[in-house]
Amino acid sequence: MNTRFLPALAAVGALALGLSACSDSSDAQSASGGSDGASASGSSAAIEVVASTNVWGDIASTIGGDQVEVTSIISDPGQDPHEYQASSRNQLALSSARVVIENGGGYDDFVDTMLSASGNSSATVINAVDVSGYSASAGDELNEHVWYDYATVGKVADAIAEALGEADPANAETFTGNASAFKEGLDTLNASVATIKEDHSGTGVAITEPVPLYLLDDMGLDNKTPEEFSEAIEEETDVPADVLKETTDLFADHAVSLLVYNEQTSGPQSDAVLAAAQDAGVPVVPVQETLPEGTDYLGWQTSIIDSISKALQG
């Protein structure tokens, strides 16, 4: 479980105490399309949706269209999502949300804490990990990065359409249709993933964190990174010297054909692995935990898949 959001929770209580003093609507303007800004519809009748990150926020905007007003709590592509600090603006957005989308799996526990503090008990809460059906197996931790698992993303899309339809029955068919169109885009992604699996199944790859593992597993690629390394990087703990050497040796020994790294978090040890890959001439593909500026979920994932395919082709 990722625990790096936990420092933000200490600020939530203070925000709740000051919430009544922060009732100016300018402090709680919502965002559409998974980023801060104006409402997509500009209508007060829009369904207010809050998502923990702009990944789920973008999907909600795609499905809801002009009928939703989406606030994505974490939307800055340059921000390390694990260093989120609670704000009164987001607390206010949660207090009036009708639909809340969280990742779950310990990734964004701050959402539940803030929602509870807001006094909003009527919102429909969609937990992506719960929707996925994944759970930690004995002795292993759950990989909570389920937005890289397209089967889960499709299930969440359906759950969003259902929740929006309950909030606005007159547009329920529109939401269902939008979700179906979105899932057709997921089918296209899956076809590209299947092609990579057919051509490169069993190819050794390395990672810095478990972020892209669902996608790499679906491609049939073999993650050779020592688990102790990637878990330590994710949890921001020190990597033992022998484990770091074992990881960097993967590149010097040409045991892997690709490094997939999380470019939103960095540190001396992950930087050492990146340098080792570059020194050995091993292709490097960056991935992210939040949606980069200027793209949508399907475009973002298409770009990542294309980059991996190109890197594997040499």
pLDDT score for 138: 56
> Has residue 152 been placed in a domain?
yes
Residue 186: per-residue pLDDT = 98
Print the domain residue range for 253: 199-312
39 and 95 fall within a common domain:
yes
Task: Return all residues near 251 (Cβ < 8 A) that are at least 6 apart.
Answer: 206, 259, 273, 276, 277, 279, 280, 282
Q: Which of 160, 188, 216 is the last residue of a domain?
A: 188
Running along the chain, 314 residues long, what does each successive block of 10 average in pLDDT? 46 41 34 39 74 97 98 80 75 96 94 93 97 80 95 98 98 98 98 98 97 98 96 90 97 97 90 97 96 96 98 92
Domain count, the chain: 2
Residues 109 and 21 placed together within one structural domain of the fold: yes
Of 188, 210, 231, the one marking the end of a domain is: 188
State which of 165, 188, 211 marks the end of a domain.
Answer: 188
Q: CATH code at 273?
A: 3.40.50.1980
Same domain, 97 and 214: no
Q: What pLDDT is recorded for position 14? A: 42
State residue 234's pLDDT score: 87
- The answer to whether position 194 is within a domain reads no
Give a yes or no: residue 284 inside a domain: yes
Does residue 193 fall inside a structural domain? Answer: no
State the pLDDT at residue 265.
82
Determine how many CB atoms are found less than 10 A away from the CB of residue 23.
11
Evaluate whether residue 1 is within a structural domain. no
> 122 and 15 in one domain?
yes
pLDDT of amino acid 18: 41
Q: Write a three-state SS string for the chain.
A: CCCCCHHHHHHHHHHHHCHHHHCCHHHHCCCCCCCCCCCCCCCCCCEEEEEEEHHHHHHHHHHHHHHEEEEEEECCCCCCHHHCCCCHHHHHHHHHCCEEEECCCCCCCHHHHHHHHHCCCCCEEEEHHHHHCCCCCCCCCCCCCHHHCHHHHHHHHHHHHHHHHHHCHHHHHHHHHHHHHHHHHHHHHHHHHHHHHHHHCCCEEEECCCCCHHHHHHCCCEECCCHHHHHHHHHCCCCCHHHHHHHHHHHHCCCCCCEEEECCCCCHHHHHHHHHHHHCCCCEEEECCCCCCCCCHHHHHHHHHHHHHHHHCC
Same domain, 81 and 208: no
Same domain for 131 and 21, yes or no, is yes
Within-domain flag for 244? yes
Residues 28 and 151 in one domain: yes
Specify whether 154 is located in the same domain as 10.
yes
